[in-house]
C-alpha cells in the first residue's frame, strides 16, 4: 500500500498488475525471483523489490504534494522511525496477526509489545497533526498501512486504547482521497 501511495502522490504512470501470490506469473518471477510484492520494473530494466525503495524512487522523481522531507535532519528522523516500524514493530505485527505461523497460542504478547510503538506514534501526533509535521508526507505514508493492519486486527481493542490522536490520524487517512485511490481493485494479472 505504501508503494502505491507514493506512486499516486508522485503521479507516476505504471502498469499495475494485481498478483495472487499462490499463482505468481512467470513475468513477475523473471523480474524478481524472490517472488514477493511489490515489484517495480523501471524503464531502464532495474528492479525495485522493497516498498520503501519504490516510495523513495517515486517521490524523488516527482513530489507535487511535498511529501519528501525538506532537510537532512527531517529525513534522518523519518528514516529512523520507518526503520523502527519495519523492524521490531513489523515483527510484532506479524506475530499479533498470525500467531500460529510463529508457534504461538495467541498474539497478545506481540500486541502488547506493538502497543509501545503505537504509544510513541500517538505522542508524536499529540504535538503535531501528522508524523511528517505540518502536512501528510512520506513518513505518514510509510507507516500508515502498518498502523491500519494493527488497528484492524482487533478493532474494538484498538478503539478502547487511549490513543486519541493516533486514532484520529488513522481515521483521516482512511477517509482520504489517497487511500481511496490506492484501494481501488484491479483485475488479477
pLDDT digits (tens, 9 = 90+) for 85-112: 999 999 999 999 999 999 999 999 999 9
- For residues 74 and 131, the answer to whether their CB atoms sit within 8 Å is no
Give the integer Cα–Cα distance in Å for 141 and 55: 9
Measured CA to CA, the distance from residue 85 to residue 179 in angstroms comes to 20
- List, in order of start, the domains of the chain with CATH numbers: 2-64+178-182 (3.40.30.10), 72-177 (1.20.1050.10)
Provide the whole-model pTM.
Answer: 0.93
Alpha-carbon distance values, 102 to 85, 91, 96, 97, 109 (Å): 19, 10, 10, 10, 12
**CA 150 to CA 133: how far, in whole Å?**
22
How confident is the model over 42-82, as pLDDT tens digits? 999 999 999 999 999 999 999 999 999 999 999 999 999 99
Amino acid at each position: 500500500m505504501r508503494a502505491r501511495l507514493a506512486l499516486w502522490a508522485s503521479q507516476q504512470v505504471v502498469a499495475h498488475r494485481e498478483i495472487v501470490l499462490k499463482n505468481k506469473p512467470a513475468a513477475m518471477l523473471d523480474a524478481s525471483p524472490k517472488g514477493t510484492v511489490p515489484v517495480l520494473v523501471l524503464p531502464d530494466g532495474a528492479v525495485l523489490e522493497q516498498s520503501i525503495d519504490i516510495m523513495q524512487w517515486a517521490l524523488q522523481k516527482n513530489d507535487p504534494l511535498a511529501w519528501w522531507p525538506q532537510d537532512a535532519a527531517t529525513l534522518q528522523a523519518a528514516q529512523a522511525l520507518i526503520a523502527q516500524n519495519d523492524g521490531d514493530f513489523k515483527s510484532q505485527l506479524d506475530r499479533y496477526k498470525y500467531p500460529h505461523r510463529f508457534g504461538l497460542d495467541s498474539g497478545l504478547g506481540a500486541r502488547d509489545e506493538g502497543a509501545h510503538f503505537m504509544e510513541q506514534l500517538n505522542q508524536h501526533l499529540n504535538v503535531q497533526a501528522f508524523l511528517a509535521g505540518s502536512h501528510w508526507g512520506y513518513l505518514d505514508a510509510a507507516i500508515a498501512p502498518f498502523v491500519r493492519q494493527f488497528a484492524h486486527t482487533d478493532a474494538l481493542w484498538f478503539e478502547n486504547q487511549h490513543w486519541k490522536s493516533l486514532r484520529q490520524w488513522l481515521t483521516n487517512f482512511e477517509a482520504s482521497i489517497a487511500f481511496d485511490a490506492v484501494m481501488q481493485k484491479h483485475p488479477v494479472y
